[in-house]
Amino acid sequence: MGLRIALAGNPNCGKTTLFNSLTGASQYVGNWPGVTVEKKEGKYVRDKSVTITDLPGIYSLSPYSPEEIVSRDYLIEDRPDAVINLVDATNLERNLYLTTQIVNLGLPVVVALNMADLVKKNGDKINVAKLSDQLGCPVVEISALKNTGIDELMQHAIKQATSKSAAAPKVRFDAAVEDVIDQVEALIKGVPAHLARWYAIKLLEGEQRTIDSIKPSKTTLDKVAEIRAGLEQRFDDDAESIVTAERYDAIAHMVDETVKRSGKNLTTTQKIDRIVTNRWLGLPVFIAVMFVVYYIAVTLGGGVVTDWANDGISGDGWLYTGTEAYDAAVADWEEQVAAAEEAGDEALLAQLAEEEPDASDGSYGLWIPGLTPIISGALESAGVAAWLQSLVVDGIVAGVGAVIGFIPQMILLFLMLSFLEGCGYMARVAFIMDRIFRKFGLSGKSFIPMLIASGCGVPAVMATKTIENERDRRMTIMTTTMIPCGAKLPIIALVFGALAGQVSDDVWYVGPLFYFMGVAAIIISGIMLRKTRMFAGEATPFIMELPQYHLPTVRSVLMATWERVRSYIIKAGTIIFLSTIVIWFLMNFGFYEGSFGLLDSEMPDYIQYSLMAGLGSIIAPLFAPLGFGDWQATVTSITGLVAKENVVATVGILTSLDASETDPTTWTAFAAMMGGSAPAIMAFCAFNLLCAPCFAAIGTIRRQMASAKWTWFAIGYMTVFAYAVALMIYQFGTLLAGGGFGIGTVFALVVLAAILFQLFRPMPKYDKEKPGVVAGAAEAA
């Protein structure tokens, strides 16, 4: 059947890089964002009979996270033939904690000291022979990044697996603790001898998973409880903390005996960290770094490249040369039109309408048509029915084009984020933000998805997989898409222009206001959710390894970028593709003069007879308290579920105007649609920014939640919260603007009171042994 060798180690220790080198497989490198919980397998490139299993990066075998449970169950129950425990040699103290647990499982183990080249570069030296003696297994120095020492490592691993030579560690705790462990071990019956010490320690700690696994008798449990109580009284601490401290003491003693420090004052990493993780400088440095990242991604990726993707590929086409001549011709033509309009010369206007510069005629330069005219022409030539032409061109091509338009931004953004991750900087960001976020009930790891959400909600939701605690992960999923993403920027621009025409020309605060509204919404939601039965408890502290700074390989950066972009294209693109077809159907089919069918788009106000108009009319009364209670405004929010940019496009369709968010006529028409009410415009924007995200993000939420119930709960919470915020903005804004005090105002006051009550109510009692479970809830159930 061949040999099965497992790779185990801490996050950021280079484990997946080693896996790629051993198997040639394309695997995502790093622990942020979106490392999967499932174990990955591949065949050893030099011996196909050897299967390498890449376990998730973990810090211990305690069953507190899905990653730990997957790794623990595989090692204890599936019993691979050997384990390669990859250790970051630059941080032995932290990494050996997992090692001291693995060598207690009675498995053949080989310890790989990764980044050994950095240890030597720092002038340190590790006594490999003495460390091997202490751990009771072979220890090999390697560099997964530089591909050195790997052949020797695999030779040892295959030899250990073939001979079935289990690790025989000499690591021992304090005599008093060892005596207690021996007592518990003597009480356990029916467990394999190679796991006796492991189960004894876990039973001493009172771990429920071990109790459920070995099912000791009540008498045994009572005796263990008595032994545990005696130990805790002697050391004045709980049993789990005692064992943890003893393990670290043993590791410290082992490192003192086997590692010789160079005595250098500060390493390069330490010098950099004095600035980037500084209490006062850390946050400004991070803001500056991310400003540069998003400026490049949005300016370059969202400018010429995205325009080319939208117009040149899925649009009408792109003028590759002669753009200056074309722009000059357009400017001259517009001046002539303006002059003719001022003079009231209708004949000249008619003539100029026929002479409008056309870049596609080839007179200005190289013009390459896009998919739209090519496919449209082919369908017309083939005599395809009008409805099918509209479906393909307006539905399918437009839907795929919406995905393509985001890809350039995604590539640039993910390239830069992958580099920052690979060099070790992003691992420090969570620590910088943890101090702030923990005050509001969120972990520092929750900030990473929110950072990504400013680009796109799909990878942001995927990034929550790195949050080990299920409660914190779900709460982060429910709030992270409240940050305005790139797709929501047209909505903010639309509101900006509408308010500029209704309130004043000086509305520079609109953009920052809605960004800060998203941050405030997340903080308020974090506090409120934390004080519910489902999320009660303190934010779970986390441990993340801070790797040495190093230049990542081009291959690892490109692989990480490709994995993310490919996932976006396949997962997000499919959902947008399908949902766009549905929206096309709803907006182009309807009842007219007693019959149902495809509506004639040339017919005035054809959209009012569509199914979408009917659906909007049914839902519209729900939005009346928010200031936009007609079906047109309601429909824009519905189409925004497909992709938030559709809000602007729908405004253009409904008003028979160009759907560009920079067109002033669109701003004016939108303001008129909102009744010229500034509070209604602001409420509309708030609702669309905070409510359920686009279909692509919703689909990703469903996959990450792995539960239809939790998915609907997340969508429901975001939508209700957005409704409440929009209600208060409109009602209180109208009141301040001199409007009357009505039933809507009373409703808004009740909502405000409910939010304030939830914010300031005391934390409900919860079971500290099982964070997130309200005390007594289990018994009541």
- Grouping H, G, I as helix, E, B as strand and the rest as coil, residue 302 is helix
Instruction: Count Cα atoms within 13 angstroms, Cβ side, for 20.
Output: 18
| Contacts within 8 Å (CB) and 24+ apart, 705-709 | 705/474, 705/477
What distance in Å separates the CA atoms of residue 236 and residue 259, rounded to the nearest whole number? 32
pLDDT in tens, 193-206: 888 898 899 888 88
What distance in Å separates the CA atoms of residue 371 and residue 723, rounded to the nearest whole number? 39
DSSP letter for 764, please: P
Q: Which residue has the tokens 């429920």?
A: 208
What distance in Å separates the CA atoms of residue 779 and residue 772, rounded to the nearest whole number? 15
The predicted model gives 724-740 an average pLDDT of 87
CB 652 within 8 A of CB 664: no
Q: Which two tokens stand for residue 772?
A: 């997130």
Q: Report the CATH number of the 3-163 domain.
A: 3.40.50.300
Q: In the prediction, which pLDDT does 27 show?
A: 44
The b/e string for 177-208 (b: 16+ C-beta within 10 A; e otherwise) is beebbebbbebbeebeeebbbbbbbbbbbbbe
CB 542 within 8 A of CB 445: yes
What distance in Å separates the CA atoms of residue 31 and residue 12, rounded to the nearest whole number? 6
Structure pTM?
A: 0.59
Q: Predicted confidence band at 301 (pLDDT cuts at 50, 70, 90)? A: low
Strand bridging mode 317-319 / 589-592: unpaired
Dmax of the chain from CA atoms? Answer: 105
Is pLDDT above 70 for 296? yes
Q: Is the peptide bond before 33 cis (omega within 30 degrees of 0)?
A: yes
Q: In the prediction, which pLDDT does 266 show?
A: 63
| Contacts within 8 Å (CB) and 24+ apart, 223-229 | 223/187, 224/184, 224/187, 227/180, 227/183, 227/184, 228/204
Q: Which two tokens stand for residue 154?
A: 């695999």
| Amino acid sitting at position 350 | A
- Based on the number of CB atoms within 10 Å of its own CB, is 261 exposed (0-12), middle (13-18) or buried (19 or more)? exposed
pLDDT in tens, 570-587: 655 666 677 667 777 887
What distance in Å separates the CA atoms of residue 308 and residue 317, rounded to the nearest whole number? 8
C-alpha torsion sign, points 412, 418, 423, 429:
positive
What distance in Å separates the CA atoms of residue 548 and residue 122, rounded to the nearest whole number? 11
The predicted model gives 230-240 an average pLDDT of 86
pLDDT in tens, 502-513: 545 555 566 667
pLDDT in tens, 346-395: 888 888 888 888 888 878 888 888 888 888 888 888 888 877 887 787 77
Q: Which of 9-18, 327-336, 520-529, 721-730 has the highest mean pLDDT?
A: 721-730
What distance in Å separates the CA atoms of residue 115 and residue 18, rounded to the nearest whole number? 11
Is pLDDT above 60 for 402? no
CB 426 within 8 A of CB 557: no
Is pLDDT above 50 for 33? no
Indicate the range of 69-73, 226-230, 311-315, 609-613 predicted with least confidence. 311-315
Question: pLDDT: is 574 or 21 the higher one?
Answer: 21
CB 657 within 8 A of CB 665: yes
DSSP letter for 345, please: -
Q: In the prediction, which pLDDT does 128 show?
A: 92
| Amino acid sitting at position 467 | I
Express the helix, strand and coil content of the chain in percent, nearest 5 each.
Answer: 65, 10, 30
CB atoms within 10 A of CB 664: 12
The predicted model gives 559-569 an average pLDDT of 73
The predicted model gives 235-255 an average pLDDT of 87
CB 13 within 8 A of CB 88: yes
- Percent of the chain topping pLDDT 90: 14
Q: Which two tokens stand for residue 718?
A: 């975001």
CB atoms within 10 A of CB 3: 18
Indicate the range of 36-40, 430-434, 490-494 predicted with least confidence. 36-40
What distance in Å separates the CA atoms of residue 414 and residue 280, rounded to the nearest whole number? 28
Enclosing H/E stretch for 704: helix 695-705
| Contacts within 8 Å (CB) and 24+ apart, 719-723 | 719/691, 719/692, 721/521, 721/525, 721/690, 722/686, 722/687, 722/688, 722/689, 722/690, 722/691, 723/626, 723/687, 723/691
Q: Which residue has the tokens 């079935």?
A: 164
**What string of DSSP letters covers 556-587?**
HHHHHHHHHHHHIIIIIHHHHHHHHHHHHHHH
Q: Predicted confidence band at 28 (pLDDT cuts at 50, 70, 90)? A: very low
Number of H helices, E strands in the chain: 36, 12
What distance in Å separates the CA atoms of residue 359 and residue 364, rounded to the nearest whole number? 6
What distance in Å separates the CA atoms of residue 611 and residue 626, rounded to the nearest whole number? 23
What distance in Å separates the CA atoms of residue 253 and residue 168, rounded to the nearest whole number? 18
Q: Among the residues of 503-639, which ranges form H helices?
A: 510-530, 554-567, 573-588, 611-623, 631-639
Q: Predicted confidence band at 754 (pLDDT cuts at 50, 70, 90)? A: very high
CB atoms within 10 A of CB 544: 21
Strand bridging mode 125-126 / 259-260: antiparallel
Is pLDDT above 90 for 744? no
What distance in Å separates the CA atoms of residue 118 and residue 251, rounded to the nearest whole number? 21
Q: In the prediction, which pLDDT does 81 show?
A: 94
What distance in Å separates the CA atoms of residue 200 and residue 188, rounded to the nearest whole number? 7
The predicted model gives 262-275 an average pLDDT of 72
CB 446 within 8 A of CB 569: no
Q: In the prediction, which pLDDT does 716 show?
A: 93
Q: How would CATH label the architecture of 175-264?
A: Orthogonal Bundle (1.10)
> Quick one: three-class SS letters along 169-228?
CCCCCCHHHHHHHHHHHHHCCCCCHHHHHHHHHHHHHCCHHHHHHHCCCHHHHHHHHHHH
Task: Tell me the domain boundaries of the chain.
Answer: 3-163, 175-264, 291-358+368-391, 486-550+610-760
Average pLDDT, whole number, for the chain?
79
Who contacts 132 (Cβ-Cβ below 8 Å, separation ≥6)?
111, 138, 139
CB 576 within 8 A of CB 694: yes
Ramachandran quadrant class, 640 (left: phi over 0; alpha: psi -120 to 50; beta: rest):
alpha
- Based on the number of CB atoms within 10 Å of its own CB, is 353 exposed (0-12), middle (13-18) or buried (19 or more)? exposed
Question: pLDDT: is 295 or 527 the higher one?
Answer: 527
CB 20 within 8 A of CB 175: no
What distance in Å separates the CA atoms of residue 421 and residue 12, rounded to the nearest whole number? 10
Enclosing H/E stretch for 113: strand 109-114
Gyration radius (Cα) of the chain, Å: 31
Q: In the prediction, which pLDDT does 211 show?
A: 85
Q: In the prediction, which pLDDT does 29 show?
A: 38
CB 733 within 8 A of CB 727: no
Is pLDDT above 50 for 658? no
Ramachandran quadrant class, 436 (left: phi over 0; alpha: psi -120 to 50; beta: rest):
alpha
Is pLDDT above 80 for 671? no
